[in-house]
A and B are shown apart, each in its own frame.
Chain A
């Protein structure tokens, strides 16, 4: 069901001629018969404190949750993850290289100015401008937008970017190569518009409550770092009439138990996560509040293929095979996580590959196979395999690492030394290649397989750097140039098959997003795979 909806969304947004012309209302749709509460105020747990409210300066998930409410991009998503019109009423393309967006005429900034194509030109240029130093500047480069790469590298002026305002309400983007999922990529935080006059007037301080001008359903009211961020209704928002909530508060609560406690004492309407240990208890005691949705993320272990013992593919395979993914997903996590045999999670739109051969075996058969491979590689009782497993400090990672290490020990007699490091040290160790095997994970930036497959490119992430396969990189290039959807998907499958063959990573499980959600909250988008939750779609039901 979920799957179909997302496939639909792919067809809609990536359709060749032009898509979605209807003026679907995007705001809260309160079903008939639901009685709304008198006080329409929402409190959301939001993980860590946001680094910035400036869309061109952020890169994290918590930031994108807030900015989604403050600023509206060309496109939005509906409750099922289908890309729907945002500021752009409709769009068209004939070759997937030149995209024309027709902006709605009633879109306004919170100070009353009209939202125009020039605002988007300014914002897109700002994202790649070296002076902005956006950590996500590469995102525009990934769309192959004309000159994006050169502008980031300082070789060309930002005015040469492949964007232009045909008139006040027509915005055109030109790409170097056809990217059929381009429209979908426009839902990302980095490509949200900012108000030029405000940014230029206040500089880095434009996001302060007293200066802020936005075009989303809410505006910033009050921001106390590490305590709360309060948004209130934007009266100027074009669809303001349909917004139900008057106030949204984001609470930065890093500690999952604290998050849960504040929900249970009635201070939060929905949490950011659920502490793993408490999941079963909560499910029993508060079944009406526990909510689980698919998530666009994969959890995996990286092998350093340039260093022994993992320069031997047989060792990599043996180690990967003997991870009992069912135990991890079902017994240890047990919130609906799925065993993973791919880098790309299967929830991704249009991604339905066949499970690789080893995935179809029983765990016992896999263990047998692993033992054979390890023996072939020259490891046995008198010469046991020993290696270090690096992970970043966290209860959850620790638990999984301990569990997997114990599986390896029991099944293969391998002795593993666990090594945890705090986040930045861990990143540094990985980048320096100072590890043998390490934990990794990734969540998609957009709902298309390339957001995952690109991770293993030779120059992209640690995983890629320590894999570096010319064959794989060639497949990536081919996929970008592919002329049809089927062809591209085939190439993604080929990449996944290559990963199964070379095993530079051991996929472990596919995430789910488990939350505590108040039964009095309406409009929570449980079917949105990318976890794009718009507060404007939500409402509080009377008790």
Chain B
């Protein structure tokens, strides 16, 4: 176990390096600069700005400087939000995304697996069909449709929850965003669980267990659930990172100060340092969660070797 973790950490270093390098140059290839605007700035003004942010140097030199700073933990100043450093911005946005993401993730996982199992155990009955139909609609309805609909119903019509904002992150500000964010994942987890559960229930060891006369719920809980979780666990990595970072739409509609919005705005503003900062964060999270998933996979199926 310890060896596994150590190995992962060692592997993460070259991975991050490649990621940083590719992203850095990819970004510079994109047209536009952080300071281009509708009114063309006089050349001297532009030169002053570029000099201040080191953009007048050759790209390779900028890259080396950037890398040196990153290794020391300094992600640099934001080019757009001039009063903040990237470290500050990421540090203030991450807890928000993490909090909403964690709630949404746990909700999606627990609820999705639960209804998926129910559907699988009642395969081809009205219960199965209605659960899966609802799930299908959950998959099709994008968050930019779902979120305004939630607001319209619960904030404007009923007045139960605020239509946006975060403030202190108390529960009433979280309900709608968590709901809006997790629907897609509830549906996805449910679909995957159902498929996997049906396969597992048809496998020999379950048949054996049933022929031994064990009670049905006991079989499901004790024997079937764990192996059926295999694809669910595999999907958890992408899902978790997706929930934490890919929630731009939800964050925009609910006015939440999270990572997703920070990232997309940074990309549109060509805020080079901020884009890099968030990319590094996403890369790190992804590596981390894949490692966690790999450990979980081995737990679900002890026969798995790496």
Stretch in A25-33, A135-143, A170-178, A366-374 with 4+ CB within 8 Å of B: A135-143
Q: A424-B36, A440-B38 are in contact. List 6 more A-B contacts (CB 8 A).
A: A54-B82, A135-B35, A258-B151, A258-B252, A262-B162, A424-B270
Assembled-state Cα–Cα distance A252/B265 (Å): 12
Q: Are B148's CB and A227's CB within 8 A?
A: no
Identity of the chain B residue whose Cβ is nearest the Cβ of A139 in the assembled complex: B45
**Contacting pair A425 B89 (CB below 8 A):** no
Q: Using Cβ atoms and an 8 Å threshold, which residues of chain B touch A422? A: 268
B34 CB to closest chain A CB (Å) equals: 9
How many angstroms from the CA of A253 to the CA of B151 in the assembled complex? 15
Among A70-78, A381-389, A455-463, the stretch in contact with B:
A455-463
Q: In whole angstroms, how far apart are the Cα atoms of A132 and B36 in the complex?
A: 17
> Is A296 part of the binding interface, using a Cβ–Cβ cutoff of 8 Å?
no
B256-280: contact bitstring with A at CB < 8 Å (1 yes, 0 no)? Answer: 1110011001001110000000000
Surface stretch bound by B, among A2-10, A204-212, A398-406, A534-542: A204-212
Q: Are B80 and A51 in contact (CB under 8 A)?
A: yes
Q: For the complex, give the distance between the alpha carbons of A138 and B42 in Å.
A: 7
Smallest Cβ-Cβ distance to B161: which chain A residue: A265
Interface membership of A427, Cβ < 8 A: yes
Q: A130-B51, A424-B32 are in contact. Are A265 and B82 (CB under 8 A)?
A: no
A contact residues vs B (CB 8 Å cutoff): 48-49, 51-54, 57, 59, 130-135, 137-138, 141, 149, 152-154, 204-205, 207-208, 224-228, 251-255, 257-258, 261-262, 264-265, 267, 422-425, 427-429, 431, 440-442, 455, 459-462, 465
Provide the residues of chain B in CB contact with A48, threshold 8 Å.
265
Q: Is the CB of A207 within 8 A of B31?
A: no
Complex: A441 Cα to B30 Cα, angstroms = 24
- A133 contacts B252, CB within 8 Å? no
A133 to B54, CA, bound (A): 12
A/B interface sample: 13 pairs, CB < 8 A: A52-B83, A130-B48, A133-B48, A137-B42, A225-B89, A226-B257, A227-B165, A424-B269, A428-B36, A455-B39, A460-B40, A461-B40, A465-B40
Q: Residue B83 contacts which of A54, A427, A462 (CB distance < 8 angstroms)?
A: A54
Kindly state the separation between the CA atoms of A54 and B82 in the bound complex, as whole angstroms: 9
A253 and B255 within 8 A (CB): yes
Greatest chain A CB density within 10 A among B52, B152, B159, B164 is at: B164
Q: Is B5 an interface residue (CB 8 A)?
A: no
A425 CA to B32 CA, complexed, in Å: 6
Q: How many contacts A-B (CB < 8 Å)?
A: 160
- With most chain B CB atoms within 10 A of its CB, the pick from A154, A261, A264 is A261
CA distance A19 to B263 in the complex (A): 49
Cβ < 8 Å to A, chain B residues 76-96 = 77, 80-84, 89, 92-93
Q: Which residues of A contact B165 (CB under 8 A)?
A: 227-228, 251, 262, 267
8 closest Cβ pairs, A-B complex: A424-B32, A227-B257, A428-B31, A133-B52, A226-B257, A52-B82, A265-B163, A130-B48
Q: How far is the CB of A455 from chain B (nearest CB, A)?
A: 7
Within 8 A of A (CB), among B8-46: 30-33, 35-42, 44-45
Using a CB-CB cutoff of 8 Å, which residues 49-106 of chain B contact chain A?
A: 49, 51-53, 77, 80-84, 89, 92-93
Q: Which residue of B lies closest to A262 (CB)?
A: B163
Q: What's the least CB distance linking B94 to chain A, in Å? A: 12
- B189 interface hit (Cβ, 8 Å): no
CA distance in complex: A54, B152 (Å)? 37
B44 touches A154 (CB 8 A): yes
Task: Return the chain A residue nearest B44 by Cβ.
Answer: A153
Which residue of chain B has the shortest Cβ distance to A429 in the bound complex?
B31
Complex Cα spacing A154 to B164, Å: 47
Identify which of A130, A258, A455 contacts B255 (C-beta below 8 A). A258
Residue B185 interfacial (CB < 8 Å): no
Known: A52-B81, A141-B42, A227-B256. A135 touches B37 (CB 8 A): yes
Most buried by B among A154, A225, A431, A440: A225
How many angstroms from the CA of A353 to the CA of B234 in the assembled complex? 69
Judge if B240 is at the interface, Cβ distance under 8 Å.
no
Q: What is the CA–CA distance of A324 and B262 in the complex, to the nearest angstrom?
A: 40
Contact B162 A267 (CB under 8 A): yes
